[in-house]
Chains A and B, each alone.
Chain A
Amino acid sequence: MGNNGDKLLEVKGLKTYFHTQEGVVKAVDGVSFDLHRGEELAVVGESGCGKSVTALSILNLVPDPPGKIEEGQVLFEGKNLLEMGDKEIRQVRGNHIGMIFQDPMTSLNPVFTIGNQIREPILIHLGLNRKEAKQRAIELLEMVEIPQAEKRYKMYPHEFSGGMRQRAMIAMALSCEPMMLIADEPSTALDVTIQAQIMELIARLRREKNLAVMLITHDLGVVAGVAETVLVMYAGKVVEYAEIDRIYYNSRHPYAWSLMRSVPRLDEKRERLMTIGGSPPSLINLPSGCSFSPRCPFAEDICDGEEPPLIEAEPGHLSACHFAMDFESHGREVTS
């Protein structure tokens, strides 16, 4: 997958569960994927499918209690992040791996200036002195296209607009020249036009710095043109993993397949839009068999009984569906 370089991040069999009063929530239940240097991977799925928790698990930021990483490895440059002690992993956070979050208003500390917050990781990780750090912070603000950077340095988050705050967050995350950026729904809280700008900014920075980007979103449309690989998650598991074009045009899993057909298109004539009935299952009481089967248009008996394994349906295209192999014919059969 994504052969732009060597493997930077390898996630193997990650399981993160939350222990609540109502039961154990299997937020991430056996997720594996790789990320190469300079690659942009989009992790896509509905709210609650576990994509954000996956991202937090990588940096071991899952609140504990009630969350706990039960199993799995996260190999970054060969070293398992999950086994690192506190001091070690702090070297990675903000330094080798940067992370930005969904809502820039609540994700920035309201009582400190933007400059102060951007300067912080620089001071800690890069060991520059105050003046140098400030200089660098201002440069970073310019890099993310914030005008009047020097003036903005002294301002507070509430004085920025949504788009600018997100840019500031990006500046903060990239301040120590990390190899990888995790972007958790970076544009969801923003207006549509600003969304596009932010995505472009990330794409540009990625090219300039050969940054690996893990983009988390629920919006398949947003990733078009930016992501190379897509990881589709559902109910805590990976259901499909392939290059983006395959997912869009040649999906081998009913989930993405249905999603693609529920969107109106300018180039195709569609009589009726497909819908996916129902809603995601409870992560405490997962149905047996395939988690998607209650909503699946192709479901058959085997789907309720056995959980489909994640198999390579064609080279470079993984899918967790019993019918992944001959999906096309199966699909045509069913929809006729």
Chain B
Amino acid sequence: MPDRRDPDDLRVGKEQPELHGPEIEEFEIELEKGRVHGRTALWSDVWHRLYHNKMAMVGLAIIILLFLVAIFAPLLANHDPLYSPLYNPDVGAAEKAESVKQTPSWQNWLGTDQLGRDIYSRLVYGSRVSVEVGIVAVLISLLIGLFFGALAGYFGGWGDSVIMRSADVFFAFPTVLGAIAIMTVLGPGLINVFIAIGVLGWATIARIFRGSILSVKENEYTEAARAMGGSHARIIWKHIMPNSIQPIIVYATMGVGGAILAEAWLAFLGLGQQLPLPSWGNMLTEYLDFYTTDPWMMFIPGLAIVISVLAFILLGDGLRDALDPRMKGSI
């Protein structure tokens, strides 16, 4: 047979387009050196798809901005967030009265609050709380959830039942109620907020992860890997994880937004970051009281919260679309 062009030059799975409708192609399943791709996306493909999703990119940009603000807060703030002229004995009475609830000016970029403190600086420092809550709480949920989810999913049996029933119990507690219950007992304070939100969130993550593991476990390529002599840990790490992790990524991203929002809710109840230290939640709560006289105040932390949470939602949506190979190819 004349050897013209090497037919295997036309790489399978890479150039094959995914069409909408009846011609959906299954990627070929290759087993080479433990790298398997079944009906999942390769990471570079994922990034590529995400990159083209404008809304997701906007979300990502906002998130990066948020992180930068949180990290560089001391540099960005131009006033002491805790300083209030009202408590300064050197300031005269008239000046004190003047300094309160000022609308934005060159002195105070976002104005001053009811105690004359600079809102902009408080906002900047408050971003730290939001970022911390988002990350720490989700991390806690992930640690607990992934661990138990993996146990339940991979090993099954009665351990699975016990873990899942426990998860059910946690599901019965709506986040706010659960957090209130826990914090009433533990006491207020930021660290307790982390714990409360984090501990309450493990159940969903465990359930999702377990579900992924179960569906992946029975797939043929896992059997093949096992036949090749892989140990449990290796199988979980190299084969099951990459595929099961995808819904978790999406959920965790949205979860960060949810945690930020939860901080805002808890702040309203006086739980969480205690005054006078600023957090967006407690700032919003404070300014709510002035809605009849100075309604502009509540918009500042309010918008900050909304925009941040939205950013995470957008990114989460984008990730979900990018990770789902079926979505590829439309328009």
Binding site for B on A (CB under 8 A): 18-23, 25, 27, 47-48, 50, 52-53, 56, 62-63, 65-67, 102, 184, 277-279, 281-285, 293-295, 297, 299, 334
Contact = CB atoms under 8 A, between A and B. Distances in A.
Contact of A67 (B5, B6, B21): B21
B156 interface: no
B61 to A, nearest CB: 22
A32 B62 CA distance: 54
B20 interface: yes
Given A25-B19, A56-B21, A66-B20, 12 more contacts: A18-B17, A21-B52, A21-B331, A22-B17, A47-B23, A63-B21, A66-B331, A67-B20, A278-B7, A282-B10, A295-B7, A299-B4
Interface string B1-27: 110111111101001110111110100
Contact of B23 (A19, A53, A65, A279): A53
Nearest to B7: A278
A277 B22 contact: no
Contact of A279 (B2, B10, B52): B10
Contacts of A285: 15
Given A18-B19, A27-B19, A66-B331, A47 B25 contact: yes
A278 B3 CA distance: 12
Contacts of A297: 1-2
B328 interface: yes
Interface residues of B, number: 24
Interface centre among B15, B25, B328, by most chain A C-beta atoms within 10 angstroms, is: B15
B231 interface: no
B88 interface: no
Given A18-B329, A21-B52, A21-B329, A282 B16 contact: yes
Nearest to B14: A282
A184 B7 CA distance: 29
Given A21-B329, A22-B329, A284 B17 contact: yes
Interface in B9-56: 9-10, 12, 15-17, 19-23, 25, 52
Chain B interface, >50% SS class = loop
Contacts of A67: 20-21
A184 B22 contact: yes
15 contacts: A18-B20, A19-B331, A21-B52, A21-B328, A23-B17, A25-B17, A47-B23, A62-B21, A67-B21, A278-B9, A278-B10, A282-B10, A282-B15, A282-B17, A294-B7
B293 interface: no
Contacts of B2: 297, 299, 334
Interface centre among A20, A50, A53, A284, by most chain B C-beta atoms within 10 angstroms, is: A20
B107 interface: no
B48 to A, nearest CB: 10
Contacts of A62: 21
A22 B1 CA distance: 35
Contacts of A65: 330-331
A56 to B, nearest CB: 7
A48 B8 contact: no
A60 B309 CA distance: 43
Given A20-B329, A21-B329, A63 B10 contact: no
A23 B2 CA distance: 33
A52 B22 contact: yes
A67 B25 CA distance: 16
Contacts of A56: 21-22
Contact of A48 (B5, B9, B25, B329): B25
A25 to B, nearest CB: 5
A63 B23 contact: no
